[in-house]
Structure 1
Amino acid sequence: MTTGPVIGTKTMVVSPHYLASAAGAGILQKGGNAFDAAVAVSATLAVVYPHMTGLGGDAFWLTYSAGEGSVRAYNGSGRSGYGVRRDRYAGEAAIPRRGIRSAITVPGMADSWAAVQRQYGRLTFAEVLEPAIGYASAGFPLSPDQYGGSILAGAALTPEAAAIYLPGGRPPAVHGKFVQTQLAGTLQLLAAGGRDAFYKGAIAQNIANYMHAAGGYLTRDDFADHHGEWVDPVSTDYHGHTVYQAPPNSQGFAALMALNILEHFDFGNIEQGSYEYYHLLAEALKLSFRDRDQVLTDPTFHKVPLDQLLDKQYGGQLAASISMQRAAALGSEPIGRDTAYAAVVDGEGNAVSFIQSLYFEFGSGAVAGETGILLQNRGSFFSLDPAHINTLEPHKRTFHTLMPAMACKDGKPAFLYGTQGGEGQPQTQTMLLTRMLHYGMNPQEAVNAPRFVWGRTWGEPTQELKVEKRVGQHVLDDLATAGHIVRQAEEYDGIMGHAHAIAIDGNGYRSGGTDPRCDGAAIGW
């Protein structure tokens, strides 16, 4: 396990797969900038981490252009189809979690690649897709994480998907050669024709044809009408830093709410890794989740009251409600966790923090015909209750867990950080930032330190606080005494997700850390 950070004087790339990090580094060495490299990393992850992310999924981006001197966000999430209505599921308690009827939102990933690279990139779109195409066509060593994910979710795969990911009924051996010929052909079409090849050309037609034949609801018109959008990020000030998140339909504001609560506590008197540390963070996040669950949806359908939620006075009121001796009895809904976060900083000072996902492992489990594209099941999180804030409606974005983070000091990036894990994303992000900012940890130390995740996971009746046993038995006992429903997790438990971070110090040095729970790498020079 890596214990120290990778430090570069000019560049840094972090991602959950070493080949994706290497792809980004290669683009930087080729003369590309952070935006070119980030798209290359994202596209390569879509190939080498197919159980977590892919062309059939969504992405959110935070970008800092040194030339502009400002942070922007790109919402690369898709909307439900125009023909996707609640009555499609009449008599059902919920939208199916898997299968073609869970694939009801247009994938926003490819559009986001084109938008970021077109706006800020230096190389051609085809050049930044080269590494991904190469790994899809020539193959790559199958990762332990993909192998485990294939065993876990194999039963959810359609026959077309199983033929790719479970040839002969089992995944290839760990580090065995894994080739995705159909996906390589699709990526080549995308590289040659740009984003319109995906949304208005042969790729869209192939997906729509498969949908129609398989009983799905998305049409070619749904793809042709898709567009992501550049939006203003949401932010809050925290201990001399401006912390940015993507706006709704992303849940990013929940992490900002937690920071507005935590700024009312003196971390100088709270030992890192103590009962007080874990209890305080858990309680602050529970309060932010309570409000998040009541308001988060597509803001074009229902206004999300960010002015109120991010008001500093409101944060103070929430802070005053926290007992340092007792856990509040609050709940939340289970949320999917399989995601890939990455970040890039170049020598010019440009920075990109981004995250992408299929929602569950292998998304819907359905591969669209011969495209090699796994379709996401993100839309399955819509509610079928017409009174629910996140109720299913046509052409609507759902409550979205994806949330890349960036903290700036004096107007320039200081920390880029994020993690895999739906409900865990605001929680792990808060741990990462407080550890780096209050306790002086470098990114690798912050990532390595023991973590918790609170909330109910699928099929579990209670709101558990899962805590890695490395915290020590006395901390676990104190948390239980305070009323937390504590479940001891393994030392580096996969349920905590894959977290990565980049820090930029006063000398401009970039230090990077990647999660020991995944197959990632930090590369900088």
Structure 2
Amino acid sequence: MTSPAFLHRRSPVFAGRAMASSSSPLVTRVGLRVLEQGGNAVDAAVAMAGMLALAEPMMSGLGGDTMVLVWSAKEQKVFGLNGSGRAPSGASLDRIGSMPVMPEHGAATVTIPGAVDGWCALLERFGTQSLQQRWEPVIAYAREGYPVGESIAGFWELGAALLGPSGPIQLGELMLPEGSAPQPGQLMRLPQLAATLERVAREGRQGFYEGSVAEAIATTISAGGVPTTLADLAAEQHRAEWVEPLSVGYRGREVLGMPPNCQGIVALHALGILDGLPLASMDEAERLHHQIEAIRLGFELAIDLVGEPTPEMREQVRQALSSAGLAAARSRITNRARLATRPQGANAGDTSYVCAVDPEGNAVSLMTSICGPFGSGLVAGDTGVVLNNRAAQFSSQPGHPNALTAGYRPRHSILPAMVLRDGLPEFLMGVIGGNAHPQGLTQILVNALDRGMNPQQAVDAPRFKLIMQSGAVHIDPQFSLEVGNELVTRGHQLGDSYGFASFKGAAQMLRIHRDASGQCTSLEAGVDHRLDGVALGF
């Protein structure tokens, strides 16, 4: 059996009317302040997204992407927003050469940032206050300084090996004050980024995708060998896209995720498979085995299929999530581990997640990311904007649905989630860490709905992570030796449970409790012990 110790680390947070949650106390406080001042959940989420650029700069920022699920209380509907950017006009597989996989750093890994346009689109459609109002405290923190969180300081130090003259990333001057990663509690100032935040707050998307900031981005990518024009940044095709979320049933609920180019289908496919299995009656090793195999099938589907969406791709996704498609996939699971048949799919990745609920019942599940640690390693001129390396998640194989192509978006790892019960939001969820996203989402929902855990227990519980390149499974050391041995007996290859590469991804889960009429009675949140996060409400 799993050690019960994890159940007692921390209590869930309860509130009555509104709540903000993130992996950083400073970020959550910014969101709570918005809610206290009368802003709605969208206002709070966008404010927190801006603050993440400071609190978690190796994970998030203006140079990255965003994906969002929004529940509109007025319209009684969920809206999806895809704020992921496309490869610039100069991107080409010819520039990559015959590499088996995409490079991890440099100009060839940069896609046009989509986050800023996504946040602006959110505020325009659902917000109540301007970006300038929302980012006022963020700009002040950037100028005057903010203390670095303990866990984030650890990730900063791990990423520091990539920074400076001896590493592939040339961000040392910007991100290594006095030549080293900041210590927990050390004050960090980012005056260049403060000026850019102020400009974008004042001018909106034009302050980022036009003028000096856009010129700095285009010049930086072009100087790295990928010709990029101002039209690439200003082109209408790089605008955020409102999309219809995908869904699958699980334990009487409707689980929502983002459609391609997002790989949300991994989690949805896995959950759809598991919905037909009696997980609650299985012992721990058997339950883990079936979850691992369901997730493996989900990844195989996404690796083969997902990239820049086409009508054919959308139809294949629909079929895979149909009752017949899920039953066919479920029948492929046996008592033995499947061999690794898709040695592709990025596992590295840093991401940030926030969620918020307001007194009117609006709810936002938002994820944002610059992809790998410190992104591409490129900073756009003197803007302080760290550019993403999202193009590293393209395929380098010609003819693949996810092959690098100018104007295309790659198969995307960030996937915010929302769960509806009787047509109303019950859970907001997110798990960070590259390919840990769909794996973590699957596991924490199983913990909540099959194992009866509260949100804090569900996110704190030990987890596994499947490594698609090798087929190895990394498990948390809190699992018993007997469980590990049983997985090996079933044919699973266990990897190092303690290395940085085995990071399972910090999770957040917010549950909305309702009475028989559907009215919210309380909010309950759990924030993973694996990072510095906190949920606050009133």
TM-score > 0.5, shorter chain as reference: yes
TM-score of the superposed pair, with normalisation by structure 1: 0.95
Aligned to 1:517: 530
Please tell me whether residue 143 in structure 1 is matched to residue 149 in structure 2.
yes
Which secondary structure does the structure 1 equivalent of 2:503 belong to? Answer: helix
Q: Quick check: 2:108–2:224 contact (8 Å CA) kept in 1? A: no
- 1:320 to partner: Cα distance: 2.0
Letter in 1 for 2:148: L
Letter in 1 for 2:444: L
Give runs of aligned pairs for residues 310-329 of structure 1, distance below 5 A: 310-323=321-334, 325-329=335-339
Letter in 1 for 2:384: G
Equivalent of 1:308, from 286, 295, 319?
A: 319
Deviates more, 1:333-342 or 1:214-223: 214-223
Give me the whole-angstrom Cα distance separating, in 2, the residues matched to 1:494 and 1:130.
Answer: 37
Give me the whole-angstrom Cα distance separating, in 2, the residues matched to 1:20 and 1:499.
Answer: 15
Deviations 1:244-293 (A, max 9, x none): 1011000001211111111111234124xx11111111111111111111
Give me the whole-angstrom Cα distance separating, in 1, the residues matched to 2:341 and 2:471.
Answer: 6
Change (3 A) 1:186 1:95: same
Q: Quick check: 1:279–1:479 contact (8 Å CA) kept in 2? A: yes
Aligned to 1:422: 434
Aligned-residue Cα RMSD (Å) equals 1.9
Deviates more, 1:69-78 or 1:167-176: 167-176
Aligned to 1:8: 15
Q: Quick check: 1:56–1:374 contact (8 Å CA) kept in 2? A: yes
- 1:153 to partner: Cα distance: 2.5
Which secondary structure does the structure 1 equivalent of 2:158 belong to? Answer: helix
Letter in 2 for 1:276: E
Give runs of aligned pairs for residues 326-405 of structure 1, distance below 5 A: 326-332=336-342, 333-335=344-346, 336-405=348-417
Change (3 A) 1:4 1:492: farther
Aligned to 2:279: 267
Deviations 1:196-230 (A, max 9, x none): 11112221122223334454433211111121111
Equivalent of 1:58, from 52, 65, 69?
A: 65
Aligned to 1:83: 90
Which secondary structure does the structure 2 equivalent of 1:394 belong to? Answer: coil
Letter in 1 for 2:286: E
Letter in 2 for 1:29: E
Deviates more, 1:21-30 or 1:341-350: 341-350
- 1:499 to partner: Cα distance: 0.5
* Runs of 4+ that moved beyond 6 A: 491-494
Please tell me whether residue 36 in structure 1 is matched to residue 46 in structure 2.
no
Give me the whole-angstrom Cα distance separating, in 2, the residues matched to 1:520 and 1:88.
Answer: 41
Which secondary structure does the structure 1 equivalent of 2:458 belong to? Answer: helix
Which secondary structure does the structure 2 equivalent of 1:487 belong to? Answer: coil
Aligned to 2:3: none
Which consecutive unaligned segments of at least 5 residues does structure 1 have? none
Which secondary structure does the structure 2 equivalent of 1:486 belong to? Answer: coil
Give me the whole-angstrom Cα distance separating, in 1, the residues matched to 2:208 and 2:473.
Answer: 42
Letter in 2 for 1:267: L
Which secondary structure does the structure 2 equivalent of 1:484 belong to? Answer: coil
TM-score of the superposed pair, with normalisation by structure 2: 0.92
Q: Quick check: 2:20–2:356 contact (8 Å CA) kept in 1? A: yes
Letter in 2 for 1:83: G
Give me the whole-angstrom Cα distance separating, in 2, the residues matched to 1:147 and 1:36.
Answer: 28
Change (3 A) 1:158 1:334: farther
Give me the whole-angstrom Cα distance separating, in 1, the residues matched to 2:421 and 2:129.
Answer: 29
Aligned to 2:230: 220
Give me the whole-angstrom Cα distance separating, in 1, the residues matched to 2:274 and 2:99.
Answer: 41
Which secondary structure does the structure 2 equivalent of 1:101 belong to? Answer: helix
Please tell me whether residue 485 in structure 1 is matched to residue 493 in structure 2.
yes
Give me the whole-angstrom Cα distance separating, in 2, the residues matched to 1:354 and 1:483.
Answer: 37
Please tell me whether residue 497 in structure 1 is matched to residue 510 in structure 2.
no
Aligned to 2:268: 256
Letter in 2 for 1:306: V
Which consecutive unaligned segments of at least 5 residues does structure 2 have? 1-7
- 1:87 to partner: Cα distance: 1.8
- 1:236 to partner: Cα distance: 1.3
Change (3 A) 1:97 1:67: same
Give me the whole-angstrom Cα distance separating, in 1, the residues matched to 2:405 and 2:222.
Answer: 20
Q: How many residues matched? A: 517
Letter in 1 for 2:415: M
Q: Quick check: 2:106–2:224 contact (8 Å CA) kept in 1? A: no
**How many percent of aligned residue pairs carry the same amino acid?**
37
Aligned to 1:107: 113
Letter in 2 for 1:65: S
Give me the whole-angstrom Cα distance separating, in 1, the residues matched to 2:105 and 2:225.
Answer: 13
Give me the whole-angstrom Cα distance separating, in 2, the residues matched to 1:174 and 1:268.
Answer: 41
Give me the whole-angstrom Cα distance separating, in 2, the residues matched to 1:157 and 1:215.
Answer: 21
Letter in 2 for 1:418: G
Deviations 1:431-473 (A, max 9, x none): 111111122211100011110001146xxxx321111121111
Equivalent of 1:290, from 300, 312, 334?
A: 300
Equivalent of 1:46, from 28, 53, 59?
A: 53
Give me the whole-angstrom Cα distance separating, in 2, the residues matched to 1:82 and 1:401.
Answer: 23
- 1:72 to partner: Cα distance: 0.7
Change (3 A) 1:2 1:128: farther
Q: Quick check: 1:59–1:108 contact (8 Å CA) kept in 2? A: yes
Give me the whole-angstrom Cα distance separating, in 2, the residues matched to 1:489 and 1:76.
Answer: 34
Aligned to 1:470: 478
Change (3 A) 1:66 1:492: farther
Which secondary structure does the structure 2 equivalent of 1:347 belong to? Answer: coil
Change (3 A) 1:210 1:264: closer
Q: Quick check: 1:136–1:181 contact (8 Å CA) kept in 2? A: yes
Which secondary structure does the structure 1 equivalent of 2:353 belong to? Answer: strand
Q: Quick check: 1:50–1:146 contact (8 Å CA) kept in 2? A: no
Q: Quick check: 1:204–1:223 contact (8 Å CA) kept in 2? A: yes
